[in-house]
Every structure is written in structure tokens, then in C-alpha cells.
Structure 1
Amino acid sequence: MTWPVALLVALSGLATAIPLVTFAYSVQHSHYLTVNFIQYLNPLIQFCMAVFLLHEPMLAQGYAAFGVIWVTIAVYSFGAMRGYWERLKPHAR
């Protein structure tokens, strides 16, 4: 392996390691609900960018699936927030 190729391999490893380390740090210092929500939100934002900014072709079934995903995220978030507020009620008295 020549040195430019070795350098590219080393840099690609570093480019992979940095997001993994920052993700591990954020998981340890955040609420799991926040981490789970971001894990769902990130691919959806990428999908929106592909469809609306880059004008990727999309069928009606894809838009229906996209809507279902957003509804499930809303239901999940509402349930989690409701549970959070229910846990706080005894402390409010």
C-alpha cells in the first residue's frame, strides 16, 4: 500500500470514529427519549432533503409511508411526554 492510500484509509477511519465517539458521549449524557427521537428524526430530514431539495422521484406509496412514520413519531412522543408529566405530578404537590 502506498502512503497516499494509507493516509486516505487512516483519514476515513478517523472520519468514521469521530461521529461514533460523539454519539456515544451524547447517549451517556442525554435522556434516552431524546436520543431515540433524534435517531428517527435524522433519516427523515435526509429523506425530506432528497425529495424536496434534490427532487428525487417519489411514488404515492412513499408519501403514504412517510406520513405514517410521522404519525407514529407523534404518537410515540406524545405518549412519552405524557408519561413524563405523569411522573412529575406527585412532586408538584
Structure 2
Amino acid sequence: MKVLATKQSKLMPRVGRSVVIEDQKIALFQVTDGRVFAIEDNCPLTNAPVLEGIVSGEYLYEPMREYKISLVDGMIQEPDEGQLTVYPVEIIGDDIFVEV
């Protein structure tokens, strides 16, 4: 099910925005080339939000322990391991839809 999450004009590059869809806390990130990613706002290794993490390219550095997480597939990079759920995003005009 696609749900309107927010407006793209409300996002700032490399700064997370929190949304709740179907009781799921999701962090939205717009990277510098304009693409938008939606990822679960909870790191399985720290059980803490990732919203305040630092974005570099297609990666998010988790704010507590700086685990490197792919915004594309949610994989936590080696030497650590784990995965966060990523959600498909569709942008129509200024509207950002997330599929949950």
C-alpha cells in the first residue's frame, strides 16, 4: 500500500525526516543527487533510532556507534552485520509516497 509520507520540498539534503506509517517509524533521507530513501528508523544493533545519523553518498552512519548502513538495501556494512527494512519510494510532483 502506497501512502503519502511528506512533500519533497520539506526535505533537506542529507538530513533525516521522521514519518510514521501504519505504526512503522520510518526515516526519510534525500541524498545530494535528489534521490529519496525510506528506511526503518531503528538500528537492530543498538535498538536506537537512525534518524540523526550522518549521510554520505548512499550510506547512513548510525549515530550511536557509527555503523555504516546502505540506504539502498538496508545492509549494515562489514565488519558489522544486520539489516534494516527499506521501503520503496515514489515521487509524484512534490509528493513522496512510501510503500509499506
TM-score, normalising length from structure 1?
Answer: 0.21
Q: Comparing both structures, which one devotes a greater share of its residues to strand?
A: 2
Whose Rg is larger? 1
Higher RCO (C-alpha under 8 Å, 6+ residues apart): 2
